[in-house]
Structure formats: structure tokens, C-alpha cells
A and B are shown apart, each in its own frame.
Chain A
Amino acid sequence: MKKLLQSLFLLLFVAIQAIAQVSPERTVTGTVTGEDDGLPLPGVSVKVKGSNMATQTSANGKYSIVISGNTSTLVFSYVGYAEKQVPVGSGSTINVALQIDNKQLSEVVVVGYGTQSRALSTQTISSVNAESFKNVPVISPQQILQGQAAGVNMVNSSGILGAAAQITVRGGSSLNAGGQPLYVVDGVPLNTGAYTQAQGGSSGLNPLLNINANDIESLSVLKDASAVAIYGSRGANGVVLIKTKSGAFNSKGNINFDYYTGYSEPTDILKYMNADQWRQFRTEYLTANNLAVPNYPTTSFDWADAVVRTGKVNNFNLNAAGGSEKTKYFVGGTFSDESGYTLGNDLEKLSGRFNFQHNVSDKVRFGLNYNLARVNSDRIGAENSTYAPLTAAYLQLPYVVPYDADGNLVNTGFVQNVIGLETTGYNTLTSTRNTGNAFAEVDIIKGLTFKTDWGIDNVLFDERYREVDVFTPGGYAYVSESGDNKWLTQNTLTYNRILGQNHTLNALLGYSFETARNTNNLLDGSGFASDDLPNLGSASTPTTASQTAFEFALESQFARLGYGYADKYLFEGSLRRDGSSRFGQNSKYGIFYALSAGWVLSNENFFNKDSKFAQFLKLTASYGTAGNDNIGYYNYLGTFAAGAAYSDASASTPNRVANPNLSWEETAQLDVGLTARVLNALDVQLNYYNKLTTGLLANVPYPFTTGFAAASQNVGELRNRGFEITLGSQNIKTTNFTWNTNFNIGFNKNTVLSLPENRDAEGRNFILGSTAQRAIEGESRNSFYVIRYKGINPETGDAEWLTKDGTPTTTPVAADRVLAGHADPDFVGGFTNSFRYKSFDLSAFFNFAYGNKVLIDGLRFTENFGTGSYNKSTDLLDYWKQPGDNSFAPRLNSPTRTTFQQLSTSQLQDGSYARLKTVTLGYNFSPELLGKTKLIRSARIYALGQNLLTIQNKDFRGPDPEVSANGASNGVIGESFFALPQAKSITFGINLGF
């Protein structure tokens, strides 16, 4: 490795020597910007007409070229922009603004540690720009990616405000290691620890909760090996680069104000009986079984109706961007206040951002990107607990009422009185986050830039909970404070030159070090003198005092070398060496690499660019590796957990088996792509990929007779193969009317190739994810393995399942379980149509997923036929009464009356859906009219609907097919245990520019 780096240096050195040979006569410098947005364009080719002298612009659009005395014209060219020829006068500064002639190709994409021209990049990257999510009420940035980037599957885990999202890039390539992509904001890799919690969604806290979508200029999803290898041991599950907005040099300050307000309600809720239905059903049931019918109370209460309300949202956003000759800035602030559609779920968000850059001289620059955010949330019980409003409402016996005869709240026990819980005490989460980086850049010699960048990401979660006397006698409270504090330094040398007319060279060499410490303090106590004492300090019995801390450090060296010939033949190689504290003694260091090549056919002489059929055509291929280091902190050590106690003395218990070989898992990926513009209107991107993960980190299940449940080992192999299509089409473009369509779809097939020895009845190794779901060798990582439900036998009225060989039975056993589908979809994607007619615009965005099963596990409760302990679905009223009945539920006294609800394909349902995610209708006020105000530059009003329409299987029982109750888990996806359905919302807003 060291040798490789040394030879890279040598190469760089030789190149520098070669350039030093050119003899100077006069130097012209300047900045090249895009005419549309005034932003600098990096990588623009600057050539002296009629000579072979050439250069290209640096990352901030600057160039410097040495010309001979007789030079008359400079030629500026850049893919996607019209070529511009500028006569050279006597001055030494020539600033140029280039005009776009093809939007798609002119795009500059953010890549790891830099930017590249999309047209000339050999990396596979999906970008989502601000215009595709502007005004959409999203709470966290992951949601922006839903349906917008081919191959990215983003699933909202719950309708609860601020719930973590499940997101996979090109199929999940991890099993027991963390499987979420790495998020990098302005170069700072964010903390994405799994912040567990006792409240809210069962999926954990959303690690990006306080990254403000309004500040984001673009999200780039790095997908293929050539894009992710530079992130080494953290790239295997994809990398999402978030670039925040910035100002522009020499631009008048623009001020933008955005406001929206809106309403939401659940897309659907589960069925439940009212008190009369329940009493009658239960009486019939008990009577039919010769059991005594208790004296049921005659009261009734509609719990679901009482906990579901109209949600509201108000969002204010104000930002300013601009710049002088040497300084540019962006300042933005957002305040939003949202109340969810369930009682007690509110979220308030305040965030501010300051991005700034100053050029000290032509050669020295420094800057700062800084974000401060605070989220204040009134939370509700975890969805898989009976303290969650809607969960409790489904299960609460409908004759139980929240108040006694005197109007006092009552304790209803395990299925708690959620109305009382939400109207007394408190349950809050305050999260603050500081994320930022400061950098300095020095141009050492022509083309060679040194950059040092220092960043922090400090996130603090403060959870507080207080339950009053009626629900816990004496009262109860807890405080949990979690912090994840990171700092990092990244130092890079970049070298960008054109050698001669045709040889483009880009080199990057870097070193980074980062470390983060994750701490948690948890305190709880009980026994308060009064409900009026809010703080834990007033508790008489402190029951828990816990403090834990985890730390990791990552040290890396990385390099990238790109070479292009005449914008036709493109090559790139990258290399990264990571040393991580997470890896075992025997494998502290990992090396990751990628090689890629591209051929821009449309720049060949034989290609007729003026043909109507095709205007641009590029083929790319890449192969390389990346790792996943998300394997816990010290999992390679065999340890005893301290901190337990017995009879007032400390106790320790073994908690982990030693594995000094524990290491990252590695994903090798092949990607072949085609990028084209055809018919002067259609941009096409096609990619095929084949990803093979080896050293898959698996929790190898141990027989419990060893004392351990499992041990982490690098043992498995997993493959994701897929195909992605991204289409962008300008269907109609006239002065008054435009119609654009964007479509993307990603097909993925996930196959587990090998797992540790642990065989099922069919002889295939497997690893359990949940009771219903497992990774099976030869099948999907998320295969459902359950017994098959057949239905109610119309003759007998008994529920029937199938044995393994398909024979109906009323008493299935575990050995009858079969593979019954998978939770990962065959394909996901999105489809957007945007129309503009004069001042009106309309856009409709659908996202879709197909081919996956979802387990609506809550049905095992709401369809529990025999229980008297909680409420039931009205579907059970359709029970079998006489031979010939095709009923939903069994005969009242059938022997299957208590097994009817058992886990089977009955709860496993088709999760395919298409959803009208957003639809927007807007009106832009005419510039002429606004001109008269002398204040307002632009104004738009709009109405936006979210999730207004969902197309799903007609037999789907469950509130929402979009579920992922375990959030960012790999082993368990597509399962819901009373997860809140997505909200259906309408918002109205205004965008003003000054």
C-alpha cells in the first residue's frame, strides 16, 4: 500500500516537472461561471485557438493560462454548455459566463472529495436537486430520495413524526451489520449511530432529524464502486452526499421567503368493533363454548376516534444568498411546527445555516459551513407498546372508558388510557445538532491545490418522560441524554491539468482522521409527592442511574487518479486504506479500490452530433470494492458486562464471544452504464450492476446451550444484481406550455449465497431476522418463512392451514412452514409529470414498489378470535354459522377458535403499491406585475397534496402497505406492528423572492 502511494507521488511529481518546461510569455486569468445561476464551473476546458495550449478551470471555476503574444482567441468549452470563443485583448483577466445547451449534461455532480462533470464522469451517481423537493413537507432528508433516485429504496417506517427511515441503495448488502448509506454533508460524514429510544416509533430516532431540507442544494447518491470506493470501509451500502446551498461571487443578494401551512390525516386505519358489537360477539362466543358470560359494563367509548385528530403544519423559511468579488454567503433559517394526526405527537423544528467563503487572494481561500438545529418533539408511546395512542385505541376494550363517574382519569392497565397519558405528564425529545466544517485552500502551483478541512458533528438527544400518579402510583419519570460527538480532519492535495490539447489529468491524494464518542446517561425514578413536581429530582426512589460510552476512530489515506483523452476516453482509479478501531486485532486495516473507464462515443469523429436521433452517448464500466464498518464498537473482544448487581454487590455476566478476526464486510461491484441524449428531448441513463458482498457480517446463531445467542463473524456471501433506468424527457416545450416527464425504476434481486451452518428442513442455511422473516441461502435476505393459511372450511367452519406437502390441517406445526415471499421489492421507482401553462404549473409524482410482501403483525391481535382481553376487528363478525358459509372467521366453538390468528400467510400480504406521493398546483405571478412593487422579484402560490391516492391490492388488510416497523434494520423489513400509517396531507404555500 505504502509503495502504491509513493508511486502516486512520483507520478504527480513527474507531471509537475513536465509542466514546468512550458515557457511563459503572458498569463491570463479569470473565472468561468454558468450563465443561469452564476455559479462557478469547474473542469471547463480553456484552449488557445490554433495552438495546443490548454488548461481547465479549478473547483471554484478559476483558470490561469499562459499565452504567447500572438494569441487572439480563447475557446471555452464544457459538456452541456455552448462553446464560447472570446477574443483576447490586452487585459490579463477574462471572466466568462457559459450558456447551457443541455441541462442534463451540463450538470456538475458532487463526488467524494470533489465535483465532476456528469457528462465526463465514469461514476454512477443519482442526483436529486432542490427543485424536485422544494416545498414538499419532509421532516428529514432521506424522505427526499423516495422515488427520485433509481436503485434507492426508501421506506417511511412509520407515520410518526420524526421516525427513522429504511433506506437501501441497490439492495441491502449487509445482514447484521448496519445497512444504511453513509451520509456526508458538505464533506462531513455524519454520525448515523442507531440512537435507540424508549418512545416514539419502534424504529429508533432518525439520525438526520435535524438536517434541514430547505438548506439542501442537492443530494447525490453514490452507487457504483468507482463512486464509493473513495469512502472505503464505509461505502458498501452507498453514500449520500448532501451539498448545502451557497451564494455566488459577484451577485446581488437574493432573499427568499417560503411559507406553507397544511392539514393531515391518516391514509387509513385498522377496523375495530364498537362496544355493542364486542359485547354481542363475546357473549355469543362464550355461550357457544359453554363458558360463563361476565357482567359486561354497559358503557362504550370510541378510542380511535378520540386519538385521531387533524394534523397541522406551519413552516417558515427565510434565506439570503449572494456575494461580492471575494466573498460569498448563504444564510438560511427555518421554523416549522407540526402536529401529527395522533393525539400527543407534535414536532417543532428550528434550524439555521451559515455558509461562507472568502478568497484571500487568487491562491488562498477559506470558508465555513455551519448548521445549528434544534428539534423539540412531544412524543407518543412506541408503536409496539400499548402506550401508543393508536395501538392502544385498536386494542382497548370498547366498554372501557377513560374517565370514572366523577370525571377523573382512570388507569386502564396494560392497554393504557392513552387519552390520560397524553393529557398529563410529559414525553418529550429535544434534539440539538451542530454540524459544520471550516476549510482553507491554497493553490501551491498551477493546478495543484492543498485543502485542509476540519469538521464536527455534535448531536444531542435529550429524552424526558413523566407519568403521573394515576398511571404509576406515586408517579414515574426518566431522563435519557444521548450524545454523539464527532470531529474529523481531512487533508487533500488535488491536481487538475490539461496536458497538451487532449490529455486531462485529475489527481487526488488525501489523509483523514475522525473519531466520535457516543454517550448515554439514563436516570429514572419513582415516588413523587405530587403530580405538580415535574422533574426527576423530586422522585423519592431513584431506580436507574446508568452511563455508557462508546468511541471509535478511523484513520484513512486515499487517492484518486483520473485521466481523459480528448473527452473521449476516460479512466479513473481510486484507492483507500482504512484503519478502524472497530476491527479485530488481526485485521485492523483494509484496502479498497476501484477502476473505471468511459467512452464518450458522441465525441468521436464518426458520430454525427447533428443527427436527430442521438446527441450524446457515453458507455461506462467500473469495478471495485468498498466495505461496511458498521459492525459495532468492540465486537471482536470476548467480554463480561459489568454493571449488574446482586444482593448489593456488583455482578458481571459474559456478553460476547471473542473473535480477533472480526472485520469489515466487503462488497465488490461491477457496473456497466450507458448515458445518452436522444431525439433532442430524452435523457437516458441505463445501468446494470452486480454486487457481491463477502465476509458478510452475520450473527452466527449459537445454540442457547452455549450460553450465547450468537456471535458476530464474517461468514456469509450476498449478491445484489439489478438494472436501473432513469429517463428525463421534455415532451413539449413551447413558449406557453411545457410538459416534462421524469421516470426512474430500479430492479434488484437479492440473493444470499452462503451463510454459516444452520439448516432448515429443506437443507438451506438460514439466519433468523424475526419470527416470520429470515435470510435463506439461495433466496432473499428478507424471506418470509411461515405456515400457509388456507381459509375457513365452508363445511366444518374450522380454520385450515396447509401442511408442508399442501394437505389442509387444523393443527399446523412449525415444520409446516414454507418460503412465502420476500420483503424486498422486485422493483421500486418514481414517475413525475410536470406541466407549465403560462403562469400555472402542475406536477404529479408517484412512487411505487412491487413484488414485496408485508407482514401486518398487529392483525394477530385485532383478529384474535378467542381473547376477551382486547378489542377486535369487525371482520371477525363474519364468522361461520352454517355449512356452506364462506366466512372470514371460524365457527364460534371450532377447535381452531384460539389458533385462528396464529402467525401465517393470513397476516402476510401483498405490499405492492403505487402512491401519488405529491401533487402540486402552482401559480407564478408575472414579473411585470411584480416589477411594479419594486421589492418583490418573484412570487408563487401553490397547493400541494401528499399521499392523496394509494393504489394497492384490493384485499390488503392493514392501514398502509408502506411499512418498516424496525426502521433501519436489514434482517427485518416490511413488518408492521401497529406502525402508524403515512399521513395524507394538503398544504398551501407561498414562495417569495426579493
Chain B
Amino acid sequence: MKIKYILAISAGLTLSLNSCEKKLALTPEQDLTEETIFNSASTARSAVLGIYSTAQTLEFSGSLPQLIGEYMGDNVEFVGSFPTLQELRDFTTVSTNTNISGLWQVHYQVITRANKVIAQIGNVPGLTDAEKSQFVGEAKFMRALAYFQLADMFAQPFQVSNGSNLAVPLVLEDFTGTITFPARNTLNEVHTQIQTDLEEASVALPASYATGIDTRGRATKGAAFALLSRLKLYREEWPAAVTAARAALATGQYALAADYSFYDKNTAEDVFTIQNSAVDNGRTGSGGWAAYFRPTAVGGRGDAPFSASLIAAYEAEPGDLRYALKSSGTAADGLTRVFSTKYPDAVNNSDNSPVLRTTEVYLNLAEALARQTALSPEAITILNNLRSRAGLAPKLVFATQQSLVDAILLERRKELAFEGHRRMDILRNRGNLRQGVTLAAFGGEKTILPIPQREVDNNPSLVPNPGY
């Protein structure tokens, strides 16, 4: 009797060896497997939007590259407490700077996620050819934008050695598990790839989408041309810059706003704007647009007020309405300073991230025209359109070709301040990033960012930037 009992228990125990495969087969509840994601139209669409979602991140369009673009220039004072950001301000940064490896990481996330869409979207059942083509165009636009931002940060500008200097590695293939160790391409190679992607995107992309938020927040034909015009401007290919800017404007989607109430409004002023909302934005614990640019009392960190140089630029011509986009408040150093109001929401961080707007396209066009043709009337018209919107008297007389260019560049500075353009606008004009600071001189080793040490350590093909 007892023996039977024992045998029954032991039989039970033995059987249980085989019975539980099922209990051990648990699958994740928050994730989708790679096999399923490109197997239906809706999940494939979510992978396309995943590229933009990645771009919302602090390190891409979430303000960090743009903040660096402002305070490594002369528009913004950095009084915040992050040593990694202070190093950049002081042009003394090191290759182990964790903010910089974050920038590199997120930009390549955007690139590889775009690569995956480009490689996989063709096989997705349930998508029309038009949709597939559009998705590839969107991915190529975002890839181009990522390489553009990377080249700006990690390579000396075109003007230093005509683009023959090293930029960043071009990764264009889908990563499917085999690690490669790509070497850095030259700035010219990277720019060529950006141009190719933008040209292909401009063919594949629609001029607009069904909703306003998509027309301003997703890649469009106009956005591809607008970014191309910036690329050509940076490369001093003036006629091409003019062509691209005109092509963007010709899509009929864009118009100069009448005043400065357009920020965060998805109007015809916006060419491409990364969309943020209270529930969906790129703010992290370490920063965000309003977090950096707003004072403490409204919930910001008070890290990045106006610089004395920018204040002087506005005050040189009293009455500039763009100088009214400010308020004063307590900065991170406990002192009262002046802050931009372009990104007001320091509580929910819902402010959209500006990437390309109509005014910039006009500025690109005006500058490219003025560089080609002395005292281009069209350039003067554009300049005065912007000046009159800003409440300033028109300027009609320019002594030299350069003085018109300088006037356009000054307008560009005052117009696009706090939007991340300043550092590149100084460098491509062979300027010193900050007056009187030797380390900030054009071509200075630490005016560009180091290739992150982590990447140099992990990829034997990578050559560090000089000085790091």
C-alpha cells in the first residue's frame, strides 16, 4: 500500500519533467518580436513613426544639440551646473563626456532605425506601393537630417579643408546582427550621401499630408528641399542653395508668418517641426527646451539665458520685436538674467522642436543670392520683409556685397536665436565662436566634439578627432 503511494508520487514527479514546457514559454508583454513588426501594415507604420519618436529625444531634436549649437556660439550664456556641458562652454571637453556619447548614440539610433525601414518595408503585406515609397522617403529624410547634425557636431566645417576632413561613418545597411566596424567618411562623402537621400526623398515624399500636424511634423517634399538648401549654403554652393530653397517654397505649403506667434502652432511658417505634446516629448531628467531656456520660477533650470553679446545685437537696433520674446528671471546661478520665451512650457515640455522653418528657407535663399550677385534686389527684398516683420525700418543701401551678406547674417542670428543655428553660422563664416577666447577660434580643435571614447574603444576603425 505504502509502496504504491511512493511509486505514485515518484511517477508524478517524473512525469512533471515533461509536462511544463508550456509554463516556461512566456513572452514579453510590452514588446513585439522582430518577426511580427514588419509583418503587418499597422506595426510597420509604427516602426516608421518610431524614427520620429527617436528624433524627439533630448539628444536629437529635444534641444541638446541645439543648446550646444547656441552656447558654443555667442548667443547664449551657459550658467547651468552640468560639468559635461560646462566643458563644452569652456572648449575643454574630453572624449569621455557622457553627453557627447549620448548625442552620437541617439543619432545613430535614428539612422539605423531608418535603415531598417528602408530595408524591410518592401516586404510588408498590406501596404500599397505608394505607402512603401513614402515610408522609404521619410526614412531617407530622417537619415539625412541625422547625418547633417552629426557632421555639424563631429567634423570641422566645409570651410576648414573643403570637406576633405573626416566626418562620421556612413552606415546605410540594415543591422541584422553582424557587427561591422565602419571607419569615418570624409565630410564630402557624408554631404554627398545627405544630398542623395534628400533628392530621393524629395521625389518619394508628398508635399503635404491629410492633417496639419503631419504636414508640419513628418517629412515632406518641401522639408527635403529646405534641408538641401541648408546643406548647399553650408557648402557655399550658392546656385544649388538657391535652387533648393526655391523648390521648397514652390511646393506652396509655406508662407512667412505675419508675426512671432507661430511658435508651436504648426502654421505655414513651419517646414519641418518635431511634434511634442504633454504626453509625448523628448524631455528627460537632464534637460529639454524649456528646461534649459526658461528661468527657475516657471519651472525651468535657468541654465541658458541670453548672452551679453546677443543682448547687444538686439539693442543695437531698438524696437526689434524679436527681442520682445524674452522675460527675466532667476538663473541657475541665483542671479537675475534674461531668458527666451520661444519655448514656454517648462512644466509639460509640450513645445515643438523647430528644425526647418520658412524664414530660414528665405534666409538661405537671400544669402545664397547675395553671395552670387552683388546687391541682389531679391535678397534685399527678403531681408526687408523680415526686418519689417520685426518692426525695424527697411535697409536699402549697402556699401558692398559683403555688407548685404553681413546684414542677412545678422538677421539670421536675431531670427533663429535659440533654435540651434549659431555655432555653424559662425564657423562656416570662418568666425571665432566667442570673441576673445583663443580656444574658440575657427578651426580650433575643441570647436568640434570628440568622437566618443566609448566608440573609439569599441570600433578600431575610428580615428579620434585631433586634440582629444
User: Which A residues have a C-beta under 8 Å from some C-beta of B?
Assistant: 1-2, 5-6, 9, 13, 16, 294-297, 385-386, 395, 397, 399-400, 410-415, 444-445, 448, 450, 471-474, 476, 491, 493, 509, 511, 513, 515, 526-527, 541-544, 548-553, 555, 557, 577, 579-581, 588, 633-634, 637-658, 701-709, 758-760, 766, 768, 771, 813-814, 860-861, 864, 866-870, 898-899, 901-903
Contacts and interface: CB of A to CB of B under 8 A. Distances in A.
Nearest to B181: A703
- Rank and list the top 4 A-B pairs by shortest CB-CB distance, nearest first: A707-B112, A413-B296, A639-B31, A651-B49
Interface in B310-357: 330-335, 346-348
A548 B5 contact: no
A644 B94 contact: no
A420 to B, nearest CB: 12
A414 B81 contact: yes
B297 interface: yes
Nearest to B56: A646
B171 A867 contact: no
B432 interface: no
A655 B26 contact: no
A633 to B, nearest CB: 7
A898 B86 CA distance: 9
Given A476-B347, A647-B218, A651-B46, A705 B34 contact: no
Contacts of A294: 335
A11 B105 CA distance: 60
A105 B299 CA distance: 65
Contact of B334 (A397, A515, A771): A397
Given A634-B28, A705-B169, A707-B113, A640 B50 contact: yes
Contact of A706 (B54, B179, B285): B179
Contacts of B218: 647
B5 A444 contact: yes
Interface in B88-122: 90, 92, 94-96, 98, 101, 104-105, 108-109, 111-113, 115-116
B179 A861 contact: no
B240 interface: no
B9 interface: yes
A652 B30 CA distance: 10
Contact of A869 (B81, B95, B171): B81
B213 A493 contact: no
Interface string B12-49: 01101100110111111111111001000001011101
Contacts, number: 299
Nearest to A476: B347
A413 B300 contact: yes
Interface stretch (B228-236, B401-409, B450-458): B450-458
B269 interface: no
B109 to A, nearest CB: 6
29 contacts: A9-B10, A397-B334, A410-B297, A415-B332, A445-B2, A541-B348, A543-B279, A544-B279, A557-B16, A581-B23, A640-B34, A642-B32, A642-B46, A646-B52, A646-B53, A648-B280, A651-B46, A651-B49, A654-B116, A657-B177, A703-B181, A704-B101, A706-B175, A706-B179, A707-B108, A707-B112, A813-B468, A869-B333, A870-B81
B301 interface: yes
Given A444-B5, A511-B13, A652-B50, A580 B347 contact: no
Contacts of B83: 860-861, 864, 867, 901
A779 to B, nearest CB: 16
B32 A652 contact: yes
A1 B14 CA distance: 11
A663 B237 CA distance: 56
Contacts of B92: 898-899
Nearest to A901: B83
B306 to A, nearest CB: 14
Contacts of A642: 30-32, 46
A473 B34 contact: no
Most buried by B among A395, A650, A704: A704
Interface residues of B, number: 104
Contacts of B175: 706-708
A548 B28 CA distance: 10
B105 A386 contact: no
Contacts of B54: 653
B227 interface: no
B288 interface: no
A5 B12 CA distance: 13
Nearest to B29: A549
B302 A414 contact: yes
A413 B302 contact: yes
B399 interface: no
B214 A647 contact: yes
Nearest to B80: A869
B156 to A, nearest CB: 18
Given A414-B80, A705-B171, 18 more contacts: A527-B348, A543-B348, A549-B30, A553-B26, A555-B16, A579-B20, A634-B31, A637-B33, A640-B34, A640-B50, A649-B49, A651-B49, A654-B113, A654-B116, A701-B458, A708-B175, A864-B86, A898-B92
B49 A647 contact: yes
A704 B303 CA distance: 29
Nearest to A549: B29
Contacts of B213: 647-648
B459 interface: yes
Contacts of A13: 6
B278 to A, nearest CB: 5
Contacts of B52: 646-647, 651
